[in-house]
């Protein structure tokens, strides 16, 4: 059993990034159920994100999405976030909601549309300069709905051209994270459908290009932790968009649908030393040859969720706690006993080591951790008792609640 003090130290250093859009109204094509007290602008979204950090202590950054979080001066937004106790994290581009993008954005057959899309991506890097953000996160809805609609290879060449232009624009401490998704809104081809396509583009671009794994973007039954292990081994896992799903891209609370899968994913991250820069606990040494491989870049642990029916701030707090619980269990794995059983070919013993950690109730350990961090043991209860939820409902009257604008 690993030393619990070391486990708590690792958990204190493990940071989770919140999505600004989780605090706005969201829904499905059938209905967006508005909620009272929803923020009306990125400043109020930052205030709500700061509440999650206030009660969990491990969510110090909020990702923004442009134009959903469009504002006149992004440095002012960054200063406001700082005032509230957090920082602006990844900048998400959006080239999937403009009429011009019906046949795609950077992959569109029309050069005028591609030029417009590229201009938006470059504007997002300007915004990163203003907010001090390190990560540009790129997701493209680009694809086709019918065989023959467009040339698969030509679209890839157009994509590569745009990515190259963005890559050249990045500053030394900036990077681009390329997110893949199997389908939706395109239903025949998606131009970045899987980890292989994203990785190929990243390898062609350079070390500042890495892959984002959105846990809701795979076909049912895909072994996501295998993909994570491969990307970590290649030094190209840039981050996660954490959420959970029962069927498709449901964007439900991370760990809600499949906490065991989340645990298995974080086991691969801990083992590879990807939990946070400087992590030492729980790392499994690799063969000398492999150890020469490029080191894992910092992994961004971002949530990408929509709280269509549940109260949004408590749901974000619960989601952060779900990641903490899975991470704590992964850190409790007795890696030397695991390695010994694996090398001995003792299948049942090896599986038992992992299941013992997974079946460990880590909630008391996390309550003690929060106590040491000067936080209440139950962050959700503490937030609900604060009256902040009622305050924003009474204050945020007038104006229009934020949403996806879809």
Range 61-120, binding ligand LRH (CB under 6 A): 92
Q: Does 139 bind ligand LRH (CB under 6 A)?
A: yes
268 binds, among ligand LRH, Mn ion, none (CB under 5 to 8 A by kind): none
What lies within 8 Å, CB to CB, of 268 at 6+ separation is 225, 228, 229, 232
- Residue number with CB closer to Mn ion (94 or 279): 94
| Of 53, 181, 236, 370, the one binding ligand LRH by CB under 6 A | 181
Alpha-carbon gap, residue 358 to 266, rounded angstroms: 11
Alpha-carbon gap, residue 87 to 18, rounded angstroms: 11
Q: Does 268 bind ligand LRH (CB under 6 A)?
A: no
Q: Does 304 bind ligand LRH (CB under 6 A)?
A: yes
H, E, C per residue of 231-266: HHHCCCEEEEEECECCCCCCCECCCCCCHHHHHHHH
383 binds, among Mn ion, ligand LRH, none (CB under 5 to 8 A by kind): none
**Contact status, residue 326 vs residue 13, Cβ threshold 8 Å:** no
Q: Does 17 bind Mn ion (CB under 5 A)?
A: no
Range 271-330, binding Mn ion (CB under 5 A): 304
Q: Does 214 bind Mn ion (CB under 5 A)?
A: yes
**Contact status, residue 173 vs residue 134, Cβ threshold 8 Å:** yes
325 binds, among ligand LRH, Mn ion, none (CB under 5 to 8 A by kind): none
**Cα angle vertex 18, ends 134, 180, to 5°?**
70
Q: Does 191 bind ligand LRH (CB under 6 A)?
A: no
DSSP states of 63-79: EEETTTT--S-HHHHHH
Q: Does 263 bind ligand LRH (CB under 6 A)?
A: no
249 binds, among ligand LRH, Mn ion, none (CB under 5 to 8 A by kind): ligand LRH
Q: Does 325 bind ligand LRH (CB under 6 A)?
A: no
DSSP states of 330-396: HHTS-HHHHHHHHHTT-HHHHHHHHHHHHTS--HHHHHHHHHHTT--S-HHHHHHHHTHHHHHHHH-
What's the closest the beta carbon of residue 65 comes to ligand LRH, in angstroms? Answer: 6
181 binds, among Mn ion, ligand LRH, none (CB under 5 to 8 A by kind): ligand LRH
Binding site for ligand LRH (CB under 6 A): 21, 92, 139, 179, 181, 214, 241, 249, 304
Residues at the interface with Mn ion (CB under 5 A): 214, 241, 304
């Amino acid at each position: 059993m690993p030393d619990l003090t070391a486990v708590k130290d690792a958990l204190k250093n493990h940071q989770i990034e919140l999505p600004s859009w989780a605090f706005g109204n969201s829904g499905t094509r059938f209905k967006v159920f508005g909620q009272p007290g929803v923020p009306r602008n990125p400043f109020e979204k930052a205030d709500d994100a700061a509440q999650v950090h206030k009660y969990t202590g491990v969510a110090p950054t909020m990702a923004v999405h442009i134009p959903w979080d469009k504002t006149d001066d992004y440095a002012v937004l960054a200063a406001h976030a700082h005032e509230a106790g957090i920082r602006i994290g990844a900048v998400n581009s959006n080239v999937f909601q403009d009429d011009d993008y019906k046949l795609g954005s950077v992959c569109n057959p029309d050069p005028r549309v591609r030029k417009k899309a590229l201009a938006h991506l470059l504007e997002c890097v300007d915004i990163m300069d203003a907010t001090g953000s390190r990560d540009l996160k790129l997701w493209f809805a680009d694809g086709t709905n019918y065989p023959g609609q467009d040339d698969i290879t030509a679209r890839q060449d157009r994509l590569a051209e745009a990515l190259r232009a963005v890559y050249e624009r990045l500053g030394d401490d900036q990077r681009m994270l390329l997110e893949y998704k199997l389908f939706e809104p395109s239903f025949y081809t998606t131009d970045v459908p899987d980890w292989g396509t994203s990785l190929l583009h990243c390898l062609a671009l350079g070390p500042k290009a890495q892959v984002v794994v959105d846990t809701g973007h795979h076909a049912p039954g895909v072994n996501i932790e295998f993909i994570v292990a491969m990307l970590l081994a290649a030094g190209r896992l840039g981050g996660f968009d954490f959420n959970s799903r029962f069927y498709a891209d449901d964007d439900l609370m991370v760990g809600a649908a499949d906490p065991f899968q989340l645990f298995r994913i974080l086991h691969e991250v801990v083992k590879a030393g990807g939990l946070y820069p400087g992590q030492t606990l729980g790392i499994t040494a690799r063969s000398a040859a492999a150890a020469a491989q490029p080191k894992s870049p910092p992994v961004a642990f971002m949530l990408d969720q929509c709280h269509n029916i549940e109260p949004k701030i408590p749901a974000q707090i619960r989601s952060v706690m779900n990641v903490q619980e899975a991470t704590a269990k992964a850190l409790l794995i007795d890696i030397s006993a695991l390695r010994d059983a694996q090398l001995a070919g003792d299948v049942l013993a090896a599986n038992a080591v992992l299941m013992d950690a997974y079946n460990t109730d880590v909630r008391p350990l996390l309550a003690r951790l929060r106590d040491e961090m000067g936080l209440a043991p139950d962050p959700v209860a503490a937030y609900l008792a604060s009256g902040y939820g009622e305050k924003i409902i009474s204050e945020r009257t007038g104006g229009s609640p934020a949403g996806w604008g879809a």
